[in-house]
Amino acid sequence: MEKVRTKGLAILSLVTGLVLSACGDTTEATDNASTDSEKTNDYSIVMVTDNGGVDDGSFNQAAWEGMVEWGKEHDGIEGEDYTYIASDGDSEYIPNLNQAIMNDFDIVFGVGFKLKQSMMEIADDNPDQQFVIIDDSIEGNDNVASVLFKDQENAFLAGVAAALSTETGKIGFVAGQQSEVLDRFEAGFLMGAYTANPDVEVIVEYVESFSDTSKARQIAAGMYSNGVDIVYQGAGDAGNGVFSEARDRMNADPDEKIWVIGSDSDQTEEGEYNEGNLTLTSSIKGLGQAIKSVANQTMQGDFPGGEITKLGLKEEAIYMTRGQLSEETWTAMEEYKKQIINGEIDIPINPDEVTAP
């Protein structure tokens, strides 16, 4: 029907096993990263976050939880053998990456596509340091490993879930900042929705930030007020504003029957309100599992420098939660999942290539 858009590796097998086993406040760099180069273990890792902190309930938190698991598995001490440096704005990426190098960590992870340019610059200046960019790719640097996710595949299934669950025939996507990553999300969501329900109307709006919860809430409020009953949030920490709006509405009027689809991590907890839970499902991205697998691989002397690893449904690195989906909808999603894995559905990564029926 109608689309409304507003612009405002060895790794593979390790990730598969880790996902199956698994299936913030912004902090100044010196507060959490150890300044002592004496590490408890022979190996240490650090992650520099995107904006939002490690308790954002989404992207950064999912990555950090994987690092914490790695640390515990190797009897590491937080702050020495594994830690994070939180970024409070784009201008802090280079200083934070330099801080990580100064603290003599074996691997420096940059979590999020927004760190790409800064990591490219720092990697060129520090050829002996091992870097990993998560959720983007850097080519031509043997000291940088890249991990990409096939976000369009999970987003396709989120679109199917929304299109088959809506009672109003109108669904929405609240996205963070315009980027190739969010292009994949938008393209997948649109195609999944139109494939499952050609009559559905999809409204897409961008926050143009991953931290502006107020703007995300304002966008969600407008969508719900205009008849959208399911919103897929892909805005990182800002997406908490979508949940806040939905919770307040449901607390005020439980009969309104609105939902949120979470992203990156299981956001069931964010959907709790007085009389129930409004998280329909969540699209999980194995960020933490990717960090664990690269760290373990590198510990074994096999750093995948210069390689770009792409992870999707086939690699079991992404998946949807069962959530509160109907049996009929879940069954349909499982069937579409099989078709995607088998190569029967080709999902574009550019939303301009998706047209409404």
Average pLDDT over residues 88-92: 91
Average pLDDT, the chain: 90
Q: Is the pLDDT of residue 31 over 90?
A: no
Average pLDDT over residues 248-261: 97
Q: What is the pLDDT of residues 335-353, one digit of tens each?
A: 999 999 999 999 999 999 9
Q: Is the pLDDT of residue 39 over 80?
A: no
Quick one: DSSP state of residue 279?
Answer: E
Two tokens, residue 163 = 């299109």
Q: Is the pLDDT of residue 66 over 70?
A: yes
Separation in Å, CA 165 to CA 96, 160, 213, 245: 43, 8, 26, 20
Q: Is the pLDDT of residue 323 over 90?
A: yes
Q: What confidence score (pLDDT) does residue 26 get?
A: 36
Instruction: Say if residue 33 is exposed, middle or buried (CB neighbours under 10 Å; 0-12, 13-18, 19+).
Output: buried
**Class for the domain spanning 151-284+320-344:** alpha beta
Matching fold, domains 10-150+286-311 and 151-284+320-344: yes
Q: Is the pLDDT of residue 23 over 80?
A: no
Q: Is the pLDDT of residue 22 over 60?
A: no
Q: Is the pLDDT of residue 13 over 50?
A: no
Q: Is the pLDDT of residue 75 over 80?
A: yes
- Give 51's pLDDT tier (boundaries 50, 70, 90): confident
Q: What confidence score (pLDDT) does residue 36 get?
A: 44
Task: Yes or no: say if 96 and 298 are a contact pair by the CB < 8 Å rule.
Answer: no
Provide, rounded to the nearest whole percent, the portion of the chain with pLDDT above 70.
89
Q: What confidence score (pLDDT) does residue 56 get?
A: 84
Average pLDDT over residues 1-12: 47
Lowest mean pLDDT across 10-19, 176-185, 296-305: 10-19
- Give 41's pLDDT tier (boundaries 50, 70, 90): low
Using DSSP's 3-state secondary structure scheme, residue 138 falls into coil
Separation in Å, CA 51 to CA 25, 88, 129, 264, 316: 10, 6, 23, 15, 27
Average pLDDT over residues 85-98: 94
Q: What is the pLDDT of residues 291-318, one digit of tens each?
A: 999 999 999 999 999 999 999 999 999 9
Q: What is the pLDDT of residues 110-123, one digit of tens each?
A: 999 999 999 999 99
Q: What confidence score (pLDDT) does residue 310 get?
A: 94
Enumerate the domain spans of the chain: 10-150+286-311, 151-284+320-344
Q: What is the pLDDT of residues 196-212, one digit of tens each?
A: 999 999 999 999 999 99
Instruction: Say if residue 37 is exposed, middle or buried (CB neighbours under 10 Å; 0-12, 13-18, 19+).
Output: exposed
Alpha-carbon distance 291 to 302, whole Å?
Answer: 14
CATH number of 10-150+286-311: 3.40.50.2300
Q: What confidence score (pLDDT) does residue 58 get?
A: 83
Strands of the chain, DSSP E: 3-6, 45-51, 82-87, 107-111, 130-134, 144-149, 170-175, 201-206, 230-234, 259-264, 272-273, 276-277, 279-285, 308-311, 318-320
Lowest mean pLDDT across 32-41, 93-102, 197-206, 309-318: 32-41
Average pLDDT over residues 251-260: 96
